[in-house]
Structure 1
Amino acid sequence: MSELKPIVLYQHAQGPNPWKVVMILEELGVPYEEIFQDPSTIKQEPYISLNPNGRVPTIQDPNTGITLWESGAIIEYLVDTYDKEKKISFDTFPEKYHAKQFLIFQVSGQGPYYGQLAFFKFFHPEKVESAIQRYEEQTLRVMSVLDKCLEGKEYLVGGKCTYADISFITWETVAQAIIPEFGEKTKQYTNYHAWLQRLMARPAIAKTLERKATMGAH
């Protein structure tokens, strides 16, 4: 893809969602450049003209002219536009829709529950034990759902690693980094734990996680 102009990815080192996009770009071999945003400025101009939600990631693709935000939408765009060989996606039925199903589960289930657990455990000014308990229960429930879906399988859909699998990695690594006991808790879900190890051994994923770690990001 040497003829492609680099996709511009706006991100900041601390957040897990931009690194999901980095993993997809690395897996597909799509050139990109990163513009790291200070978290204190992403709700201000000029960034909110790109992303009125004031979050990262956002991409600008000079090859198509699109500006796009929300990690799930960005991932779908990247595989639709650049995964012509279907390395990490499908154009077959029903696999195409099952992969979308798991991506939506990640952005609507895993991400919010993990994020709320981290917030109430570490950042909320008051200790609200009922909230911590609820979100811990829900994060474990997400793991249990994936564990059941992975029974007898190496990957979530179609017998190969896809964007659906990759989308879950960064939130899990964040959880294990900031809540060390979570690393042990994942082991009770044996299918889930083995799947995570399998994914993190992939060269593109390992490269991304190593770079993320060197930047001091969870």
Structure 2
Amino acid sequence: MTSKEELRPIKLWVTSPGPNPWKPVMILEELGLPIEYKLLFWEELMTPEFAKINPGGKVPVMYDPNTDLTLWESGAIILYLIEQYDTEKKLTYTSLKKKNLLNQWLMFQMSQQGPFFGQIGWLIIMPRFNYFHPDKVPSVIERYNKQSERILNILNEALEGKDWLVGDKCTYADLSFFMWNVILPLSVQSPPGETPLSKYPNVMAWHNRMAVMESVKKTIATRQKMMDEEGMGADALPKDTNAEEMLQKMKDNGAA
């Protein structure tokens, strides 16, 4: 295989707030792979041009010129990067048992944590800006809050007496959860001085262990830089947003 020094940059289409686009970025950074970012605004996701790359209108999308492969879906991209480039098994294992446990947790992240945490954000953050759902529905919000608590309880129990989900090192499975935990405070209120993770000490400690990794810090810094350049606020929405104008742009592009 071509050495890392000879690799052409792997292209990654992202939106700055994320969080899904930044999951594979942490893997790329941890493996020391070159990245070329393609930053998009929300209204660009459903344009005919982007639909040629991903008909689902979502990010991340990856194009690896070294293998001439285009992939969308963050989990698929992560698995590809691990298989293709983690030759030293830095973020994975070789044993049948551990490899499949890693896949189990990645699937749990993709089917549980991401969707439920995302729906909370959709219901809490979006109504504040009157994009799609101007009315809050308490029973629906309660359901997604309870589901999020269930997910955090599962993780907290799984991490009892352990630093990592599988084995004795941070893997791609652990990193896949990080970004959604980062944005959870945007939609779940906590008492002063606490976060939504405070009730789950094992999850909090696990999250903090990842937060000090150089690859994670670099990913967070890159994301923040892009958000600043786009004028995004702490809530991951444009600071000077005119809700009606943005909604109209998204409708014009078929995104709403």
TM-score (norm 1): 0.96
Instruction: Return the offset for 1:154.
Output: 0.3
Q: Distance in 2 between matches of 1:16 and 1:47?
A: 19
Matching residue of 2:208: 197
The amino acid across from 1:79 in the alignment is: I
Matching residue of 2:55: 52
Gaps of 5+ in 2: 127-132, 237-256
> What are the residue-to-residue correspondences of 1:104-123 with 2, within 5 Å?
104-123=107-126
The amino acid across from 1:24 in the alignment is: I
Max radius of gyration: which structure? 2
Q: Distance in 2 between matches of 1:177 and 1:204?
A: 23
Q: Distance in 2 between matches of 1:17 and 1:185?
A: 19
> What are the residue-to-residue correspondences of 1:27-46 with 2, within 5 Å?
27-46=30-49
Which segments of structure 1 move beyond 6 Å, counting only runs of 4 or more? none
Q: Distance in 1 between matches of 2:209 and 2:222?
A: 19
Matching residue of 1:155: 164
TM-score (norm 2): 0.82
Q: Distance in 1 between matches of 2:85 and 2:37?
A: 18
Matching residue of 1:134: 143
Pick the aligned partner of 1:92 from 74, 92, 95.
95
Q: Percent identity?
A: 42
Q: Distance in 1 between matches of 2:137 and 2:187?
A: 18
Give the SS at the match of 2:96: coil
> What are the residue-to-residue correspondences of 1:59-98 with 2, within 5 Å?
59-98=62-101
Matching residue of 1:184: 195
Pick the aligned partner of 2:183 from 142, 159, 174.
174
> What are the residue-to-residue correspondences of 1:3-18 with 2, within 5 Å?
3-18=6-21
Q: Distance in 2 between matches of 1:31 and 1:149?
A: 34
Gaps of 5+ in 1: none
Q: Superposition RMSD on alpha carbons, in Å?
A: 1.4
Instruction: Return the offset for 1:66.
Output: 0.5
Q: Note the alpha carbon deviations across 1:76-125, whole angstroms, 9 max, x for none.
A: 00000000000001221200000000000001000000010111112121
Give the SS at the match of 1:63: coil
Instruction: Return the offset for 1:175.
Output: 1.0
